[in-house]
Amino acid sequence: MTEYNFNGQNCRGDKIKAKNLNFYYGSFQALRDINLDIPGCAITAIIGPSGCGKSSFLRLLNRMNDLIYGSRIEGTIELDGKNIFDRDVDVVELRKNVGMVFQKPNPFPISIFDNIAFGPKQHGKKSKIELEEIVESSLKKAALWDEVKDKLGQSALALSGGQQQRLCIARVLSVEPEVILMDEPCSALDPMATLKIEDLMRTLAKNYTIIIVTHNMQQAARVSDTTAFFMMEPDRAGSLVEYGSTSEIFTNPKDKRTEDYITGRFG
Amino acid sequence: MRNVSAKQTQKLAMAGIWGGGVITLLLLIVIIGYVLIQGLPGINWEFLSTNPKGGLSGEGGILSTVVSTLYLIGITLVLLVPIGIGSAVYLSEYAPNNRLTRIIRYGIETLAGIPSIIFGLFGYALFVTVLSFNFSILSGALTLVCLLLPTMITTTEEALKAVSYSYREAALALGTTKWQMISRIVLPSAIPGIVTAVILCIGRAIGETACLYVTMGGSAAMPSSLLEGGRTLSLHVFYLAMETNAMDKAMATAAVLIIIIILINALTNLLAGRFQKRLKGIS
Amino acid sequence: MTRYFTDKLAKYIVFISGFTAVVILLLIALFILREGLPAFSEIGVFDFIFGNVWRPGIDQYGILSMIVGSIAVTVVSMIMAVPLGIACAILLAEVAPSKVRSILRPAVELLVGIPSVVYGLVGLVLLVPIVSNIGGSGFSILTASIVLMVMVLPTIISISEDSIRAIPASYREGALALGATKWQTIKGVILPAAKSGIGAGVVLGMGRAIGETMAMIMVIGNSIAFPNSLLDAARTLTGNIALEINYATGTHESALFATGVVLFVFILLLNSAATVFLKRGSNAQRLG
């Protein structure tokens, strides 16, 4: 199996392209004909009512849906021009390169330091000095360093919800991804913690491609550069209704369904 | 009138229900109490540090039986723990939802229901005779591994299942291989549960008699190798009761057994509590 | 990279260990059948199972008296254990305040952990003299049944308690809201709903009872004569195997393995019955 090297050109052009993507759980079609180009070094928001397949789509981007028995896709998803579902793609490397932050913060039941050092260790980094550097820089990038630098040996579970989520972001950063997927990262957090994470996202977007699924439209409007609106069709398959720059979508939507959703007529 | 008789029936029923609880408790108290009262006086340093004379005399202590029991449990665990954990990991992390897996689970369930004496027959046929290990601690241990495997697998699988799925997701999303995720995150998190499983198996092993009676021989002497025969503490109680008149020694040995079981029970409960707390530390 | 190699290796090793239990089960069945077959063919299955003379010295191998011994002990002990066990289970699941539960439940757990020889010993020292005052030598089916009752009790209690606990609260609330007393609720609603689970517990308890060996040897007298009353001494199938296997040879040895086959088949049937009970229970709850 040849190793696929991601080209490290994070900020040029479109980082991820979904082409004629259809996704099935067994015989149930969850996504229909998705065509979507996601720009590099920007924040793309995916919005839409519950059940429209936003999270399913997100999880295809790092092939977490491979874990679900009976799932299959048609079409392609290209990362830097290479289809991530090709046979010669190393899924483990893909997931290092496309990181994910989950809805509910899920730090491991170990110390803060060990949480961040975990990823690099599995990828072969062993020297104590290297790991300490990585932990410090990741925590700094995640705007958490000052709050925890004196208690790196403490259990990560002792942190507040917002801190735990920033820890999870630091953990993702420690393996040096190019893309960060965020699945409703603030839905379990209070407003103050949410704002901190939104600030963090904007800082990170200078160097990383960020894709965020959110059911909070105001958040999408605040934070993202481009927005994709998904909706569930009558047969319960999700499809892409409209996609464009965030300002366009929110001030001048072209599709009536988009307009209805944004103005709160349903969802 | 109707209400009165319904209330009376209720009173009667409640008396029966409470009676059931009281009788059960009394049974426990009588059994443990009697053994401890009769047996504790017989426990002294000499009892614990000398070997039983064996044969019909019933004189002596329990030292060699303690050593045999320890050897037995040691060898049993060496095989039981890796195989049990391996099977549990397979069932919990790898096994697809298909007929083959159902067969495996059926096999484990069935094995769990087979009486100890049948394991004894099996051990006698395979280990003692065919493999020529003869009546020995080794034969007993191998037989015990077969007997205890379902318990080890089932309890370990519970411990693995109790580890939150979100940890597995988080690890895989960081770019780990499946085995890295299992060995570095899942298994370490499940250790208290696994330790509970091991202690549970030790408790059962200590109390086991039938399958060991027909595979270990009954030698009361201090074993000097695993291929020698021996008797465990539990078996010693049996031999004393059936072959000698030394009921006082039997009671004393039984008292030692009961104390060990009480300690093991307490330890298991303590660990189970810690395990719950550790997993509840997250939400 | 080595971590990919380890990943593959682990997958294969774990897959193999998954099969260990099945392999052991098959080996047990194989060996016991192989060793027992000569006896079945020489003695004839019918004569073996229904012959009531067991005297290896003169080549007589009929296990009927031991089948009767095993069944008698099992039945009598279950007759005592089931009502007692269910009562205690109801107490733990429905009636007892948490303080009582915190004493009683560990007590039941402790009963499970006590080695069978200790039960046998107490039976031998305490119970045998008492029963001998009623009649016989004290070593009897009755004595063994009482000992077995205590050993089987915790199984029935815990499984029944779990089944009762599994009944959704809505059942209780519905009955109480209609003005039923607590007992009427238990008797009319909860017990019928928990019937399958309790049935499974009883069947599993029976399996344990039939399989018990050492404690039985200590108090049942081990007589190979056909028992005629509860106060007679007897011998169980399990006890027979344990007492004679280590010195038996030839047809005698094979007959003991054949006894093992009989036990094995019987236990398999019992376990299947328990599974059927449990399945029926969960189906009923899903529909109801």
Question: What distance lies between CA B240 and its chain's CA centroid?
Answer: 23
Query: Cβ–Cβ of C1/A122 closer than 8 Å?
Result: no
Query: In terms of domains, do B117 and B247 share one?
Result: yes
Contacts of C115 in chain B (CB under 8 A): 206-209, 234, 237, 257, 261
- Residues paired with residue C61 on neighbouring β-strands, in sequence order: C54
* Residue whose tokens read 């990038």: A141
Q: What is the CATH classification number for the domain harbouring B134? A: 1.10.3720.10
Contacts of A4 in chain B (CB under 8 A): none
Chain B: closest CA distance from residue C224 (Å): 17
Chain C: closest CA distance from residue A11 (Å): 30
Helix B187-207 / helix B63-89 crossing angle, nearest 10 deg: 140
Query: Cβ–Cβ of B214/C113 closer than 8 Å?
Result: no
Residue numbers in chain A where pLDDT is lower than 70:
1-10, 266-267
Query: Cβ–Cβ of C115/B257 closer than 8 Å?
Result: yes
Contacts of C4 in chain A (CB under 8 A): 92
What does DSSP say about strands A238-245 and A226-232: parallel, antiparallel, or unpaired? Answer: antiparallel
Q: Is B32 helix (H, G, I), strand (E, B) or coil?
A: helix
Q: How many domains does chain A have?
A: 1
- Measuring CA to CA, which residue among A245, A239, A249, A182 is closest to residue A35? A239
Answer whether residue A4 is part of any domain: no
Instruction: For residue range C204-248, list pLDDT tens digits in order.
Output: 899 999 999 999 999 999 998 899 988 999 999 999 999 999 888
Query: In terms of domains, do B167 and B213 share one?
Result: yes
Please say whether the dihedral angle defined by the alpha carbons of residues B152, B154, B155 and B157, taken in this order, is positive or negative: positive
Query: In terms of domains, do B34 and B91 share one?
Result: no
Residue B35 structural domain: 2-42
Interface test with C, best of B152, B155, B177, B271 (most C CBs within 10 A): B177
Query: Whole-number mean pLDDT of chain C?
Result: 90
Task: Could you please state the CATH topology (level 3) that the domain comprising C66-287 is classified under.
Answer: MetI-like fold (1.10.3720)
pLDDT of residue B283: 33
Instruction: For residue range C103-158, list pLDDT tens digits in order.
Output: 898 899 899 889 999 999 999 999 999 999 988 888 999 999 999 999 999 999 99
Query: In terms of domains, do B122 and B76 share one?
Result: yes
Answer whether residue A9 is part of any domain: no
Q: Does A122 touch chain C (CB under 8 A)?
A: yes
Token pair of B231, please? Answer: 């008797």
Token pair of C72, please? Answer: 């008698």
> What average pLDDT does this structure show over C278-288?
62
Interface of C with A in 4-23 (CB under 8 A): 4
> What average pLDDT does this structure show over B21-42?
93
Cα separation, C2 vs B178, in Å, equals: 13
Instruction: Name the residue ranges covered by the structural domains of chain C.
Output: 66-287
- Residues paired with residue A243 on neighbouring β-strands, in sequence order: A228
Chain B: closest CA distance from residue A172 (Å): 6
**Under 8 Å between Cβ of B150 and B111:** yes
Query: In terms of domains, do B11 and B51 share one?
Result: no
Instruction: For residue range B178-232, list pLDDT tens digits in order.
Output: 999 999 999 999 998 899 999 999 999 999 999 999 999 888 889 988 899 999 9
> What average pLDDT does this structure show over B61-77?
94
In this complex, which chains have at least 3 CB pairs below 8 Å with chain A?
A: B, C
Q: How many domains does chain B have?
A: 2
Q: Which amino acid, one-letter code, is at B263?
A: L
Q: Does A264 touch chain C (CB under 8 A)?
A: no
Return left, alpha or beta for C269; rule: phi > 0 is left, psi -120 to 50 is alpha, else beta.
alpha
Contacts of C24 in chain B (CB under 8 A): 111, 146, 149
Query: Cβ–Cβ of C100/B257 closer than 8 Å?
Result: no
3-state secondary structure A123-168: CCCCCHHHHHHHHHHHHHHCCCHHHHCCCCCCEHHHCCHHHHHHHH
Query: Cβ–Cβ of C1/A124 closer than 8 Å?
Result: yes
Contacts of B175 in chain A (CB under 8 A): 92-97, 119, 122-123, 175
pLDDT of residue B191: 92
Query: In terms of domains, do B131 and B254 share one?
Result: yes
Cα separation, C93 vs C116, in Å, equals: 27
Query: Whole-number mean pLDDT of chain B?
Result: 90
Answer whether residue A159 is part of any domain: yes
Element (H, E) at C66: helix C64-90
From C90, C108, C183, residue closest to B10, measured CB to CB: C183
Cα separation, B103 vs B99, in Å, equals: 6
Residue A221 structural domain: 14-262
Cα separation, B245 vs B242, in Å, equals: 8
* Residue whose tokens read 């719950």: B276
Query: In terms of domains, do B114 and B229 share one?
Result: yes
In this structure, what is the dihedral angle of CA atoms B141, B142, B148, B149, given to the nearest 10 degrees? 150
Centre a 10 Å sphere on the Cβ of residue B266 and count the other Cβ atoms it contains.
Answer: 12
- Measuring CA to CA, which residue among A233, B178, B25 is closest to residue C109? B25
For residue B125, pLDDT beyond 90: yes
pLDDT of residue A9: 55
Q: What is the CATH classification number for the domain harbouring A139? A: 3.40.50.300
pLDDT of residue C276: 81
Cα separation, B270 vs B268, in Å, equals: 5
For residue B89, pLDDT beyond 60: yes
Query: In terms of domains, do B34 and B111 share one?
Result: no
What values do phi and psi take at A144, rounded to 5?
-120, -10
ipTM, interface predicted TM-score of the complex: 0.91
Q: Does A5 touch chain C (CB under 8 A)?
A: no
Query: Cβ–Cβ of C19/B235 closer than 8 Å?
Result: no
In this complex, which chains have at least 3 CB pairs below 8 Å with chain C?
A: A, B
Query: Cβ–Cβ of B174/A119 closer than 8 Å?
Result: yes
What angle is formed at CA A246 by the lines to CA A242 and CA A249, rounded to 5 degrees? 40
Long-range contacts of C124-127 (CB under 8 A, 24+ apart): C124/B241, C124/C218, C124/C219, C125/B34, C125/B38, C125/B247, C125/B251, C126/B34, C127/C219
